[in-house]
Amino acid sequence: MKWRLGRSSGNVEDRRGMGPVGIGGLGLGGVVIVSIIALLLGKNPLDVIGQVADQSAMAPTQTGAAPVNDEDSQFVHAILGSTEDVWGNMFQKMGKTYPPPTLVLFTGAVASACGRASAAVGPFYCPNDQRVYLDTSFFQEMRAKLGGGGDFAEAYVIAHEVGHHIQVLTGTAEKIDQARQRGASMEGDNGLSVRMELQADCYAGVWANQAQQQNHWMESGDIEEALNTASAIGDDRLQNQAQGTVVPDSFTHGTSAQRVRWFRNGFDSGDVGHCDTFGARAL
């Protein structure tokens, strides 16, 4: 993949080398100072520390120097820039403006509006702050342990998370949340969570189609990389690797075959109209 042909996005926030420390972002000295102030005011120090911790939970604390403009950063900027170009163009055709998400690069752990998360959860999108969170060590994990990987496969992962942003902008995510509150089944091989993930896969395929038309950057084997990765991160394959058995009732992302199929639907058509993963399950 000739990803260097892509336009560099200005919506990447690099938090690598940064992370929460102490109690809710408070260091030991900060805890002591807050405790003294609380006692002087006649308040319970634990209550005051809790309030300050809540307020500072979202603020990262510098713990080391973040890499500047390295290859990982350049790659992410280019792929995110491409998603902005593709979805910006598609929204414009619908007479709408596309507000792009911010992509946050982090190392190890990160605080988001959806809570704190470690790199172990993999890349994720937080609808509460409309940010994509990515520790690029996941890409090494894909290659070493999951049987996927490659630059186009990594681009697919980013485009999948941006697909969740599209679901927020189009109102699908809100409808899913309302259905969940009504007691609709989220997990399972036909659950709403699986349907959302498969739609994000399809949106990633649409992006790949449109991005190729704009940049002509795909090379031989790129699609196979994406399909291999989609297969590698299917619920059935991951469960079988982890526990030697498959439990469809606990699926959250879809089987390998489903993920490949829906990415392929999006890529072959280049049309979001081919991404109705919900079908008869009207929201």
Residues 214-241 have pLDDT tens digits of: 999 999 999 888 888 777 777 666 676 6
- Contacts of 170 by beta carbon, 8 Å cutoff, 6+ apart: none
Report how far residue 165's alpha carbon sits from residue 156's, in angstroms, rounded to the nearest whole number: 14
Contact 61, 15 (CB under 8 A): no
Report how far residue 50's alpha carbon sits from residue 24's, in angstroms, rounded to the nearest whole number: 8
Q: How confident is the model at residue 24 (pLDDT cuts 50, 70, 90)?
A: very low
Q: What single-letter DSSP state applies at residue 174?
A: H
pTM over 0.75: yes
Residue 110 pairs in a beta bridge with 117
Q: Is residue 142 predicted with pLDDT exceeding 60?
A: yes
Q: Is residue 111 predicted with pLDDT exceeding 80?
A: yes
Report how far residue 229's alpha carbon sits from residue 238's, in angstroms, rounded to the nearest whole number: 12
If you average pLDDT over residues 156-175, what whole number do you get?
A: 96
pLDDT in tens, 123-137: 999 999 999 999 999
